């Protein structure tokens, strides 16, 4: 398949939340460029602003400083071609698996029969064929993860943003879902940004691993991961070595002195 991922640029992007009483700086002077088709993992201390970064890329938040560009233009509102899988997966319990998978298309005004056709194909792609009429509560945790992924696939996204999508499943299932994510990414060539707490997941799924500092988030390391996706990568010595490198960078990001009260 042709390379058709989106190009994301953060140019000196910053974000301050203000609610009249308090000012909270979530992000400071963040500059990153993710080239089309790249898979990037974001890792950093809890509450450091990784999710905020994802929401900026999704167009759900606007930066208060600098710019966030997707394919060269600022993202003022959610793009048609961006799919975001939130941490809780965003499945609607009152919709069947098929309706959940089709939701993005329905909202984008695709006709119902076509939306359901595409959704059914996406369900099959993630191994959920036969579960079209199941309710989310009837699906296991891993199946729900697949369903959330199917929704993104049905939309034919060129940018897939994931906020710790695999945090709720056990280790073995997690690895099989990581394999699925990797396969789909290689097959489709979309750009992806994955927020994760797991160092192994970051090293397995990120061609680049961006390590964030604690809040306000800044980039402390941008680690290239050239062997990502090669056969046997997860079991190689280099994989373990890179995990250690990320772990060291992460430890640095926790060091005091990085915190700054918003001015």
Partner 1 sequence: MMRGPLLRKIGGYAFAVVFIVAGWWLTALALNSPALPTPAETVQVLAENLEVLVPFFCTSAYRVIVSLVIGTALAVPIAQVCARSRVLDALFAPVLYLLYPIPKVVLLPILLVLLGLADAPKIVLISLTVFFQVLVAVRDAVRAVPESAVVSVRALGGSAWDEYRHVAIPATMPAVFTSLRIGVGTAIAVLFIAEAMAGSTGLGYFIMQSWSMVNYPRMFAGIIAMALLGVVLYAIFDLLERRLTRWR
Q: Which of 63, 136, 206, 216 binds partner 1 (CB under 8 A)?
A: 136
Calpha distance 106→186 (Å, rounded): 27
* CB distance 8 to 33 below 8 Å: yes
Cβ closest to partner 1, residue 88 vs residue 179: 88
Phi-psi region of 102 (alpha: psi -120 to 50; beta: other; left: phi over 0): alpha
Q: Is 60 in the site for partner 1 (CB under 8 A)?
A: yes
Q: Is 195 in the site for partner 1 (CB under 8 A)?
A: no
Cβ closest to partner 1, residue 103 vs residue 242: 103
DSSP line for 15-61: EEEE-SS-EEEEEEEEEEEE-TT-EEEEE-STTSSHHHHHHHHHTSS
Cβ closest to partner 1, residue 126 vs residue 211: 126
Phi-psi region of 49 (alpha: psi -120 to 50; beta: other; left: phi over 0): left
Residue 254: count of CB within 10 angstroms of its CB: 13
Q: Is 231 in the site for partner 1 (CB under 8 A)?
A: no
* CB distance 167 to 197 below 8 Å: yes
The CB-of-219 to partner 1 minimum distance in angstroms stands at 24
The CB-of-225 to partner 1 minimum distance in angstroms stands at 27
In the window 89-118, what residues touch partner 1 (CB under 8 A)?
Answer: 89-96, 103-104, 106-108
Bridge partners, residue 13, by sequence: 30
Stretch binding partner 1 (CB under 8 A), from 14-22, 62-70, 79-87, 252-260: 79-87
Cβ closest to partner 1, residue 5 vs residue 136: 136
The CB-of-244 to partner 1 minimum distance in angstroms stands at 35
Strand 8-18 versus strand 23-34 pairing type: antiparallel
Cβ closest to partner 1, residue 104 vs residue 216: 104
Cβ closest to partner 1, residue 69 vs residue 84: 84
Binding residues (CB under 8 A) for partner 1: these are 58, 60, 77-80, 84, 86, 88-96, 103-104, 106-108, 135-137, 155
């Amino acid at each position: 398949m042709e390379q058709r991922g989106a190009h994301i640029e953060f140019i000196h992007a910053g974000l301050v939340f203000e609610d009249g009483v308090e000012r909270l700086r979530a992000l400071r002077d963040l500059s990153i460029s993710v080239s089309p088709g790249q898979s990037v993992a974001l890792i950093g201390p809890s509450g450091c602003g990784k999710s905020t970064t994802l929401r900026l890329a999704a167009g759900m938040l606007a930066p208060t400083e600098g710019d966030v560009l997707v394919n060269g233009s600022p993202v003022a509102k959610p793009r048609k071609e961006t799919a975001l899988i939130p941490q809780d997966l965003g499945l609607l319990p009152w919709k069947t698996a098929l309706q959940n998978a089709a939701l993005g298309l329905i909202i984008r005004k695709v006709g119902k029969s076509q939306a359901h056709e595409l959704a059914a194909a996406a369900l099959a792609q993630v191994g959920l064929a036969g579960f079209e009429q199941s309710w989310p509560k009837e699906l296991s945790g891993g199946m729900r993860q697949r369903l959330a992924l199917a929704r993104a696939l049905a939309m034919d996204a060129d940018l897939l943003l994931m906020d710790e999508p695999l945090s709720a499943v056990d280790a073995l299932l997690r690895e099989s879902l990581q394999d699925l994510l990797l396969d789909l990414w290689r097959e489709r060539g979309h750009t992806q940004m994955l927020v994760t707490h797991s160092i192994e997941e970051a090293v397995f799924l990120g061609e680049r691993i961006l390590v964030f500092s604690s809040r306000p988030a800044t980039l402390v390391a941008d680690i290239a991961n050239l062997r990502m996706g090669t056969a046997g990568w997860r079991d190689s010595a280099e994989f373990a070595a890179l995990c250690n490198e990320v772990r060291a960078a992460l430890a640095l990001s926790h060091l005091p002195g990085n915190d700054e009260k918003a001015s």
